[in-house]
Structure 1
Amino acid sequence: MTTAQLTSPYQHYVYAYPHKTAYRPLSGRPALRSLWAAQDKSALALYLHIPFCEVRCGFCNLFTRIGAPDGLTGAYLDALERQAVAVREALGEDGPVRFATAAFGGGTPTFLTAPELERLCDIAERRMGADLRAVPLSVESSPATATADRLAVLAERGTTRLSLGVQSFVDSEARAAVRPQRRADVESALARIRDTAIPVLNIDLIYGIDGQTERSWLASLDAALAWRPEELYLYPLYVRPLTGLDRHRAAADGPDPAWDAQRLSLYRAGRDHLLAHGYGQQSMRMFRRADAPPQGADDYACQSDGMIGLGCGARSYTSGLHYSFDYAVGMHEIRGIIDDYVATSDFARAEVGYAVDAHEARRRHLLQSLLQAEGLPVADYRARFGTAPLDDFGPELGRMADRGWLTQADPARLRLTAEGLAHSDAVGPDLFSPAVRAAMAAYERK
């Protein structure tokens, strides 16, 4: 990692480790039954991925396509059901199989019609055995697709959290982010959501948009706060390769100090604004209202439990292997992967993944715990791995402490300082292993 990279607070959003760009085709395509045979399946996370959106935002590098030809969503759900049957069979009957949390993501799950959302819930419940009304269920949505009939289905089927991608309440900023929407439509969607029985509303906002100022940023925050959302996510804008914004920007070599400074300033202004309005900081991005009902693990923090992902953009985690399907950002390649998924009849084997050895498991646990505001209890780490974090990662933790990013106040808990949280997107990459970093660097973008 170069000195220039280390000084940039915006290197990589680490929502999961290792990143899918480190995954490679798996030799021998191991059978799912063998992968899950010795796993603890009593508290699994379930994730269903819907790779469709009505529009693709300029900053988006998610695995999704714009629109769907006639019949494609139905064919996709057919494939999702075939996969669910195969995966549930692979989990076996030799011990309890229980899902502790569930989520529908994408893409935009509410791109599906209300009857298709009913079917999606049926797949989770009848094919996988998840009790959606008994566990936290989070669903992602957009203003245009948060219609009354779709929301009614989600509320009736047990959704506890609805996450709405707004990004900005300022129409000119939304256009600058290549997200065509009008504030009036956003407000209408929020009103419909609040009319449902879904207890937790999350609003996603983005800072660092071209033309955005601290004044307009705080105006967006205040517009969101008017709805008293239980949660708010504040995302720094990234311009990633092969996205819409990337195609329209001038060539850049390395970090942009002026843009870094702007985003960091807006982050601090937004953080302080939310703290002053009764929200607690859960991570760099996540803020929760003090009286909000608790949800499942924050920020995909699956350090201890396994995860089952269904859909062509989902990933699954066992203790020794993370696996998924192929990954792409370019629209042509994504469409090809979706078409291949829809045509698949045999879902009994893992196709693409990354083996997580004992050292990577330690690294992942430290990384994903440290990026949460509450940090990592040292005793929990020792109980799981038989060593202390400083024994395993002394140099990396020492660098963070030297920069003022790691607090030494509580010897029983490793925790980032306020400045460390602000630099989470530099802290995370600094903890990547050399092997993961090399695999990510060698990935051929498509």
Structure 2
Amino acid sequence: MTAALASPGLADLLRLPPYQAYSYSYPHKTAYRPIEPAQPLAKLWAGERRDALFLYLHIPFCSYRCGFCNLFALARPEPAKVERYLQQMERQLQATTQALGDHRFVRFALGGGTPTYLDAEQLRRVFAMVERYASIDLKATPAGIEVSPETADADKLRVCREAGIDRVSMGIQSFSDAEVRSLVRPQQREVVERAIATIRAEAFPILNLDLIYGIAGQTVTSFLASIDSALAHGPEEIYLYPLYVRPLTGLGRIEAKAGAKPGFALQAEPLDTRLALYEAGRDHLLAAGYTQVSMRMFRAPHSPDIAAPVYCCQSDGMVGVGCGARSYTGTLHYSSEYGVARRSVAEILEHYLARDPASFAYADYGIELDDDERRRRHVIQSLLIRPGLDRDDYRRRFGADCLDDLPQLRDLLALDLAQGDDSMLALTDAGLARADTIGPWLTSARIAERMHDYRLG
């Protein structure tokens, strides 16, 4: 996303392809900057509620780097570096939980990268350090892990299930070998099928499968065929992701060498088939009985309702541990630096490995959220998922109505992208389909400028 996205009106943006940027967090890490002086974590968290926190551990390693991936990840690191990383991550976890003081985690996730790039013993060490330092019972807490097909072996998955992991998310992207090759992903369907069978054999309550639409050569027919292949395994969740070709990713470098424009969002509408693919996939999943939670997420009717303490992403804190992980307090978001290119990721990782353990008790890179940004974050986090933005809850939190604080929200109603009453504002089906336009449109000019000025490496 660029600063230009913050200035046009919504009606103007609707004339562009729907896929401008994925607003999975706000503000994006490209808006972060060094914090000077560094802030003690104990002070940052002292005034925060710490009884319903989310603990996220980041494992930035993979077997290979997919062509579309812009996550903070490094493919095929040397074994010694992985060992150093686990040691340093334990030091950070210890320093972080000490700074939190009395606390309770009610959600847990192990992401990456690919956490199951680690071997079974290394995974066992990670779960042990969590139990040792964090106030959490993994067996009684919703806990998820991300895996890739080639790393989903029985020994690793058994360790995860025994530790208390109840949700496994696996990126399939496509069941077509030709489409997967277009994504620069060396994956074969037989490996995918074997991985799913292994996951099911370990009896994880929730299996999520990720699929991508907008792949070169993909058609509605081939996309629906991949969805049907996924449905044959009865996943509790399915995510449908539009393909973005971002700078410095494998696909982005291929496009740059070919002299192509950098990204689908700059193409003319007739050349962008993603909306048609999305609508076909959405309708197919709805017909299969799935419920749509967001533009990307669909939940099966047989998905279990796991009883657990309530966690609210709009108000409860996130504690990230590991290089690339983010943490959120009410007024400050912080993390390590962000990069995409292998050289940049490697440099940031080396900096993390060289840190003095005492430095982990401080936040030195991030962004402070003023009142306007806190309101915007709440609106974006609420509006882009169902059931939508609870206006009564907004009034309780911020002392005003959301339509008064952000008058631009009225445009959603005028353009039939949202509907509601005095207590709720929810996107219509058309609005949900435009989530990747609406999210960037709600970004403040200040954040858009910081993102635009960020020098991505």
Gaps of 5+ in 2: none
Q: 2:252 matched to 1:246? A: yes
CA distance in 2, matches of 1:341, 1:265: 43
SS at match of 1:210: coil
- The equivalences for 1:177-256 within 5 A come to 177-249=183-255, 250-252=259-261, 255-256=266-267
Distance of 2:191 and 2:393 partners within structure 1: 46
2:451 alignment partner AA? M
1:193-342 equivalence runs, <5 A:
193-249=199-255, 250-252=259-261, 255-258=266-269, 261-294=272-305, 302-342=313-353
User: 2:61–2:76: 8 Å Cα contact kept in structure 1?
Assistant: yes
Is 2:418 the partner of 1:406? yes
Aligned to 2:432: 421
Shift of 1:127: 1.5
Query: What is the CA-CA distance between 1:373 and the residue it aligns to?
Result: 2.1
The equivalent of 1:176 in structure 2 is 182
Asked if structure 2 preserves the Cα contact closer than 8 Å seen for 1:376 and 1:413, the reply is: yes
Aligned residue among 45, 57, 77 for 2:54: 45
Aligned mate of 1:111, from 99, 111, 117: 117
| CA offset digits 1:367-390 (Å, max 9, x no partner) | 110000210111111111111111
Give % identity.
51
CA offset at residue 358 of structure 1? 1.5
Counterpart of 1:366 (choices 371, 376, 379) is 379
Q: Provide the secondary structure at the position in 1 that maps to 2:138.
A: coil
* Superposition TM-score, scaled by structure 1 size: 0.96
Q: Distance between the aligned counterparts of 1:212 and 1:138, measured in 2?
A: 30
How far apart are residue 247 of structure 1 and its match? 0.9
- Whether 2:70 is the aligned partner of 1:57: answer no
Cα-to-partner distance string for 1:264-301 (whole Å, 9 max, x where unaligned): 0000000000000010000000000012113599xx96
Structure-1 separation of matches of 2:307 and 2:292? 16
Residues 295 and 248 of structure 1: CA distance in aligned 2, closer, same or farther (over 3 Å): farther
Letter in 2 for 1:264: L
**Higher RCO (CA-CA < 8 Å; seq separation 6+):** 2
C-alpha separation in 1, matches of 2:270 and 2:455: 27
Describe the superposition over 1:303-346 as per-residue Cα deviations: whole angstroms up to 9, x where unpaired.
01001000011000011100001110110010111111112123
Tell me the CA shift for residue 44 of structure 1: 0.3
Tell me, yes or no, if the aligned pair for 2:17 and 2:272 is still in contact at 8 Å: no
1:263 and 1:402 map into 2 onto residues whose CA distance is 25
Any idea what the Cα deviations from partners look like across 1:189-214, whole Å, max 9, x if unmatched?
Answer: 00000001210000000000000001
C-alpha displacement at 1:28, in angstroms? 0.2
Q: CA deviation at 1:401?
A: 2.1
In the aligned structure 2, how far is the partner of 1:398 from the partner of 1:87?
42
Amino acid at match of 1:431: L
Structure 1 contact 208–259 (Cα < 8 Å) conserved: no
Q: Distance in 2 between matches of 1:76 and 1:35?
A: 25
Question: How many Å separate the matches in 2 of 1:268 and 1:197?
Answer: 32
Q: Secondary structure of the equivalent of 1:159?
A: coil
- Residue pair 1:8, 1:260 contacting (<8 A) in 2 also: no
Q: Distance in 2 between matches of 1:309 and 1:280?
A: 30
The 8 Å contact of residues 242 and 274 in structure 2, kept in 1 or not, is answered as yes
Q: Counterpart amino acid of 1:240?
A: R
Please state how far the C-alpha of 1:50 moved relative to its aligned partner. 0.2
- Normalising by structure 2, we get a TM-score of 0.93
One of 50, 57, 77 as aligned partner of 1:68:
77
- Determine if contact 2:17/2:269 at 8 Å carries over to the other structure: no
CA distance in 1 between counterparts of 2:24 and 2:151 reads 25
How many equivalent residue pairs? 439
SS in 2 for 1:71: helix
Measure the CA separation in 2 of the matches of 1:172 and 1:261. 20
Q: CA RMSD in A?
A: 1.6
C-alpha deviation, 1:261, in angstroms: 4.0
How far residue 236 of structure 1 moved from its aligned partner, in angstroms, is 0.1
User: Quick one: which amino acid aligns to residue 16 of structure 1?
Assistant: S
- Residues 200-259 of structure 1, C-alpha deviations (whole Å, 9 max, x = no match): 000000000000001100000000000000000000000001000011113317621347
Q: Distance in 2 between matches of 1:334 and 1:402?
A: 44
Change (3 A) 1:135 1:260: farther
Distance in 1 separating the partners of 2:124 and 2:392: 43
Number of the residue aligned with 2:23: 14
